[in-house]
Structure 1
Amino acid sequence: MMSYISNADNLCWLMPELDRVIRRLHRVVGNAVVDDDRFIIVGNGSTQIFHALLYALSSPDQPEPISVVAAALSTRHIRRRRSSCDRGCINGQGRRSASIRWSLHRGGDFAQQPRWLDSRNRAGHDAMLFTFSKATGHAGSRIGWAIVKDKAIAAKMVKFIELSSIGVSKESQLRAVKILGVIDDDCRNPELEDVNFFEYGRRIMSDRWEKLRRVVIKTNGVFNLPEYPQHNCKFTGEYTHATPAFAWLRCKEGLNCEELLREKCKIMTRGGTSFGGESTYTRVNMLSSDAEFTLCWKGCLRSRTHQWEIEFMLMSTLCVIN
């Protein structure tokens, strides 16, 4: 525990126990190739892993920096930038246009739970990024990892992490080993097939999306939600709809969806303009507590001839869903 390095014989100095449990979990979920010729690189969250990958893919002897392209980031905190298209990235939750998009360099950010991804086939890209926070909710542990095919790229990523933070907290690694190990054991236990960690989460999210859609239907077109096609999930073995962590709610033209929910319903969301979109959209967090979610959406929405209103049982209660 006192040394920076856990395993001097391995390419990456992560704890051997963490390497093993990450491979076990991906095998039971079936969302990524983790054969012995793949390298597991662990960093302080997926953000550091992403920076390490960009560093590893760059060429230090080039006269100019490489061009990187990703879906445009536009929030209150990030200035929109435009760049040429040399390398691609995949992004997922949180954006209205979010979908799985394959990149030119065959890499991607898969930092989500199985139920939020297209798990029809095991992904085998050159580099794949994952994070502890999205898989289990333990964001404060700051653990992210990459599955990398090329040894030279993996070695450069390790060097970047070594120079920037001298490794990753061993306490965080131990916590990840324990939690991921428990989840893996539950998924492999046939007696817990219907109540394992991921199945429980899928049921909760499916139930919440169903409730929200029932409310939206009652608005007679004032609000609408995106429709997601069914896919065969390799993890569950069933055809299921995606149940993302965020719901993009859209109002009729001319209405500001964020202001409408805040002023009429006392529900706080994040408007589309915060993400470079239109004010008719707003982003609803589907991960709030059961009490908050039930309180905020218990009621009915109804439309009238030239005006409409939203009635809730507890209008005076402020529910924060952002």
Structure 2
Amino acid sequence: MDKVKQVSWAFLRRHLLLLSLTLNLSLLSRFVYERGILPETTDHRPHQEELCFEKEIINPVCGASEQEAHVSRSSTHSSSRAQAADGGNKVINLDHGDPTMYEEYWRRMGEKSRIVMRGWDSMSYFSDLENLCWFLEPEFAKQITRLHGSVGNAVTHDRHIVVGTGSTQLFQAALYALSLLPSPHASPQQPISVVSAVPYYSSYPSVTDYLKSGLYKWEGDAYTFTKEEPYIELVTSPNNPDGFIRQPVVNRSRGIVVYDLAYYWPQYTPITSAADHDLMLFTFSKITGHAGTRMGWALVKDKEVARKMTEFIVLNTIGVSKDSQLRAAKILQVVSDGSEHMGFPEDADSFFLYAYHQMTLRWERLRDAVRHSGLFSLPEFLAQFCNYNGGFTEPHPAFAWLKCKGDIEDCESFLREHKIITRSGRHFGMEAKYVRISMLDRDEKFNLFMERLSNISL
């Protein structure tokens, strides 16, 4: 009898162990899925390739082909899961340009983009007392210069680098600095006019006027500006929202031009030359997707303008986070490591190669969906020779400037009826038949958007 009991107890323990192992695997799969690492499967058991991808994040041991298989499977599963769960009721918000589509690439990079901050690091206000912008981290400045050099999109020689909490703060700093420049034609009682050609970036009017400054004021469309007085013209190139390359419109001797070059990178537009302007703004978020780091920089030729911009940031936020600068420096280092030689390197570490292919594919799918629906139109772009990749490429803007055809007068409201949230052309100084749509969201949302847009009919 004792022997029978022993056998029964051993049998029971074995089955309890198997049951525990099964439950733990299920919980592990759910844990990893909920953190966005693995796609969900019907029985919550990770595939061999998915487990390999998870190991890649912790310890690079998997082959490139297995990672590529995971990416393909992840996209397919995300699309089918979205279609099954949506039922036509899920709201798709594409109003803002949150660049989460790049998350997949940075997961692949794993430890390469990791940075460790110790408790005693970066405690001082000061970074480099010999620099005009004394809160600029030297390593961040080094990686900014290196990146522009490897891409060839901007001149950094004989320029002052001013760092800001995103390009919005730098835009405000530029207005402050430029409005204080001595001018024999300026009136001390008259705020300087700020203009931009329509369709202009929707935040320019509100950001310009929200302080109700006596130094400057928003005057609207550059095409209609006729005042014979000093002015500041904002040139966004490639333009947000329509993606076209821009040049100044007013072109008068008493004007100052600020170039917003947030999207002048190879995944969005051909790099035809190195931009060489007196004041150029860049934002970290639209290059690599790290919007949450809140980093931007200005390349400024005039020392006094750079000094005044630095003064504004000191008065506004007493400098810029060192932690964010060091993280941004590490990310830019990874990007430059994959872009040091001319042309797209044929390896998985090239960020611009990855981003270019993603944007190309998305624009091809969007144009197919627009043709299938027949209710919309998109801008047409000409291919140009890109000095970075050594071939002819078309622009693939970060936003789609969509126009509703026929009797649809309010495109934003029309798409909202189909549970697609966009930003109306009215915010950009244009008519309501236009909307701006972000092309930078995660695959799941973009796939659902493509399906819904192609099936819209009157």
TM-score w.r.t. structure 1 length? 0.83
After TM superposition, the structure 1 = structure 2 runs for residues 48-87 of structure 1, keeping only pairs within 5 Å, are 48-59=169-180, 62-64=187-189, 65-71=191-197, 81-82=218-219, 84=225, 86-87=231-232
8 A Cα contact 1:93 1:246, kept in partner: no
Structure 1 residue 4, shift from structure 2 partner:
0.9
Do structure 1's residue 107 and structure 2's residue 248 form an aligned pair? no
Deviations 1:211-248 (A, max 9, x none): 111122223x4222110111112222221111111112
CA distance in 2, matches of 1:154, 1:143: 17
Deviations 1:279-315 (A, max 9, x none): 322222211211222223137847xxxxx837xxxxx
CA distance in 2, matches of 1:149, 1:178: 26
| 2:376 counterpart residue number | 223
8 A Cα contact 1:120 1:233, kept in partner: yes
8 A Cα contact 1:102 1:108, kept in partner: no
8 A Cα contact 1:120 1:234, kept in partner: yes
The aligned length equals 302
CA distance in 2, matches of 1:259, 1:213: 21
Structure 1 residue 67, shift from structure 2 partner:
2.4
Structure 1 residue 54, shift from structure 2 partner:
1.8
8 A Cα contact 2:266 2:388, kept in partner: yes
8 A Cα contact 2:344 2:389, kept in partner: no
| 1:213 counterpart residue number | 367
Deviations 1:99-136 (A, max 9, x none): 42236535301012333245201011111111111111
Please state whether the residue corresponding to 1:4 is helix, strand or coil: coil
- Matched to 1:50, the amino acid is F
Deviations 1:179-217 (A, max 9, x none): 111111111278971341112111111111111111222
After TM superposition, the structure 1 = structure 2 runs for residues 2-21 of structure 1, keeping only pairs within 5 Å, are 2-13=123-134, 14-21=136-143
| 2:233 counterpart residue number | 88
CA 267–19 in structure 1, closer or farther in 2 if over 3 Å, else same: same
| 1:143 counterpart residue number | 295
CA distance in 2, matches of 1:192, 1:216: 30
- Matched to 1:115, the amino acid is Q
8 A Cα contact 2:242 2:399, kept in partner: no
**Which structure carries more relative contact order (alpha carbon 8 Å, separation 6+)?**
2
| 2:413 counterpart residue number | 259
8 A Cα contact 1:253 1:280, kept in partner: no
Q: Radius of gyration: which is bigger?
A: 2
- Matched to 1:267, the amino acid is I
CA 283–19 in structure 1, closer or farther in 2 if over 3 Å, else same: same
| 2:84 counterpart residue number | none
- Matched to 2:457, the amino acid is E
CA distance in 2, matches of 1:10, 1:260: 52
CA distance in 1, matches of 2:202, 2:277: 29
Structure 1 residue 170, shift from structure 2 partner:
0.7
CA distance in 1, matches of 2:268, 2:201: 22
Q: 1:24 aligns with which of 146, 161, 176?
A: 146
- Matched to 1:23, the amino acid is T
8 A Cα contact 2:150 2:341, kept in partner: no
Q: Which one has a larger percent helix, Structure 1 or Structure 2?
A: 2
| 2:166 counterpart residue number | 45
8 A Cα contact 1:108 1:129, kept in partner: yes
Deviations 1:225-284 (A, max 9, x none): 110111112222221111111112222221143333333x43332333343433322222
CA distance in 2, matches of 1:174, 1:137: 16
Please state whether the residue corresponding to 1:68 is helix, strand or coil: strand
CA 151–75 in structure 1, closer or farther in 2 if over 3 Å, else same: closer
| 1:285 counterpart residue number | 438
CA 96–34 in structure 1, closer or farther in 2 if over 3 Å, else same: closer
| 1:316 counterpart residue number | none
CA 121–139 in structure 1, closer or farther in 2 if over 3 Å, else same: same
Unaligned runs of 5+ in 2: 1-121, 210-217
TM-score w.r.t. structure 2 length? 0.60
Do structure 1's residue 167 and structure 2's residue 314 form an aligned pair? no
8 A Cα contact 2:154 2:274, kept in partner: yes
Deviations 1:145-192 (A, max 9, x none): 111112222122212212221111111111111111111111127897
Percent identical residues: 45
8 A Cα contact 2:270 2:393, kept in partner: no
8 A Cα contact 1:25 1:184, kept in partner: yes
8 A Cα contact 2:242 2:401, kept in partner: yes
CA distance in 2, matches of 1:186, 1:208: 23
- Matched to 1:136, the amino acid is T
8 A Cα contact 2:280 2:300, kept in partner: yes
CA 295–67 in structure 1, closer or farther in 2 if over 3 Å, else same: closer
| 1:320 counterpart residue number | none
- Matched to 1:234, the amino acid is N
CA RMSD of aligned residues (A): 2.9
- Matched to 2:194, the amino acid is V
CA distance in 2, matches of 1:154, 1:77: 21
- Matched to 1:309, the amino acid is S
- Matched to 2:125, the amino acid is Y
CA distance in 2, matches of 1:191, 1:121: 15
8 A Cα contact 2:423 2:435, kept in partner: yes
